[in-house]
Amino acid sequence: MFPLRPDNDTRRARRATLIAVTLLGSAAAACGGSTPGDETGSGSDTSGGTTAEVTTADTGGANGTADTSTSSTGTTSEPTTSTTAASTEATTVGTTATTTTTDATSGTSGSTTGDSPACVLAESGPIVVDADDQVIENLHVVSTRGPAITVEGHAGVTIRNVWIEHAGGPGIAIGAGADDVHIENVAIEHTGAPAEGQNPSDGLNNIECYGSARPVVSNARLVRGSSGIYLVECPDADLSFLEGHDFRGPFPRGQLVQFDKSNGGVLEDFSVINPQATSWPEDNVNIYQSVDVEIRRGMIDGNNSPSGVGVIFDGDLALGVVEDVDAIRMGNGCFSDYAGSDGVVFRRTRCRENICEDQGRGLPLSNALMWAGHPGYTKIRLEDSHYFASCNGNLVWPDESFEVLELEELDFTMREPIVVQLCWE
């Protein structure tokens, strides 16, 4: 949120969220991967990739559970405590990957070409992890009450090739004592959202983490959560290749990712698309009371909040670097260090076609300011950045808070959104 320019010195505090990596090429399509598209905007090459093995295992077992983290044959809402060995998985089939397209409004996807999917997901109700180093994979998890997957008190857990539909609770809940959780090749959708507007609760996050270090999220599609990833006291998070759609809050949630007292986090290769008619975001990316945070190679499209910003440093103690990030159709602002700390760097950031009008939630409180500093700051750096089609010419304020101010008008092409590819699609 920006102040009423220039003298409103208030800002509502917020809390935090997160995400991370892709599998490219045919190996990626077979086992899960994401394609950032041809980069036409400013930014680094995002090519490169990793391949992953999809193992085959019996999904049977006593009481209809699999060898590790419970794979039920129905979609009940009662949580199941997983067994301690190996992993929960379904049989892989097929040899030719499908090409997946994603609807920018709904976040839903479908196969357009190719043969059968590279993997088949077993049906499961909610899962509670009960062992260190447990692997949960190749599942379709449905929950209508509470978290779909709970990880607490167990470290080194891996969740991969999983489709989660959740309502009445978060998709994945990481609690204390669950360091080094790895989440990769997942689709997580909050199915309890109304047709448009805010969620009934701010606790319906796709992924949330409280009090655990080094979470990794890679190659994830996140849809209609209160926030996509919300991190509280989860330092050194590694988030990459996130595809976000239609976040619903309500305030103070509404972000693709929020870092809350979570130092040393990295968010890279991401996109978030919030349709004006249905979404209820606050900030798109929020760094709250967190330092040494790096945000890079992102595409942000849409924010109808009168107080929300594309990327903001917040909470009076927040520092980091934002580079190679594009924002379009922002109301209240594209980039801000109004409520963070002196010394934030915005490098090769770009903003275009911001919106001065009321988008249904009130007029922008900043008078549609594109880049915000803070009175009294002197060391913010705005380097090699560009704008186009400002709705009112309100570009930067206050000028004196920027040690470097390199901003030019340029008609640029937005970076392509991330499109996650998953083995079951």
How many CB atoms are located within 10 Å of the residue 215 CB? 29
- Three-state SS at 64: helix
CA separation for the pair 165, 320 (Å, rounded): 33
pLDDT band at 33 (very low <50, low <70, confident <90, very high): low
Quick one: pLDDT at residue 197? Answer: 98
pLDDT band at 393 (very low <50, low <70, confident <90, very high): very high
**pLDDT average, residue stretch 237-254:** 99
According to DSSP, residue 115 is labeled S
- Report yes or no: 171 and 149 within 8 Å, Cβ to Cβ: yes
pLDDT digits (tens, 9 = 90+) for 345-378: 999 999 999 999 999 999 999 999 999 999 999 9
**pLDDT average, residue stretch 248-261:** 99
CA separation for the pair 417, 219 (Å, rounded): 13
CATH fold of the domain at 140-409: Pectate Lyase C-like (2.160.20)
Q: Where are the domains of the chain?
A: 140-409
Q: What is the CA radius of gyration of the chain?
A: 21
The lowest-confidence range among 57-61, 225-229, 257-261, 370-374 is: 57-61
- Report yes or no: 256 and 36 within 8 Å, Cβ to Cβ: no
CA-based end-to-end distance of the chain: 38
CA separation for the pair 420, 354 (Å, rounded): 27
Nearest to 263 by CA among 297, 305, 233: 233
Distances (CA, A) of 360 to 85, 101, 306, 349: 52, 30, 9, 27
pLDDT band at 293 (very low <50, low <70, confident <90, very high): very high
CA separation for the pair 106, 163 (Å, rounded): 16
Q: Which helix (H) or strand (E) holds 27?
A: helix 25-31
- Sequence-distant (≥ 6) Cβ neighbours of residue 105 within 8 angstroms: 245, 246, 273, 275, 278
pLDDT digits (tens, 9 = 90+) for 316-351: 999 999 999 999 999 999 999 999 999 999 999 999
Quick one: pLDDT at residue 336? Answer: 99
Quick one: pLDDT at residue 320? Answer: 99
Nearest to 406 by CA among 389, 388, 386, 392: 386
**pLDDT average, residue stretch 12-22:** 33
Quick one: pLDDT at residue 338? Answer: 96
pLDDT band at 219 (very low <50, low <70, confident <90, very high): very high
Quick one: pLDDT at residue 333? Answer: 98
Distances (CA, A) of 150 to 47, 162, 170, 308, 385: 33, 14, 9, 30, 42
Distances (CA, A) of 70 to 52, 59, 134: 22, 9, 11
Q: Is the pLDDT of residue 34 over 80?
A: no
Q: Is the pLDDT of residue 36 over 80?
A: no
- Three-state SS at 265: coil
**pLDDT average, residue stretch 254-273:** 99
pLDDT digits (tens, 9 = 90+) for 101-125: 444 444 444 434 456 889 999 999 9
Q: Name the token pair of 307.
A: 């107080």
According to DSSP, residue 417 is labeled P
Distances (CA, A) of 165 to 202, 217, 323, 402: 17, 17, 33, 44
Quick one: pLDDT at residue 116? Answer: 80
- Three-state SS at 84: coil
According to DSSP, residue 17 is labeled B
How many CB atoms are located within 10 Å of the residue 146 CB? 17
Q: Is the pLDDT of residue 6 over 50?
A: no
Nearest to 179 by CA among 206, 209, 150: 209
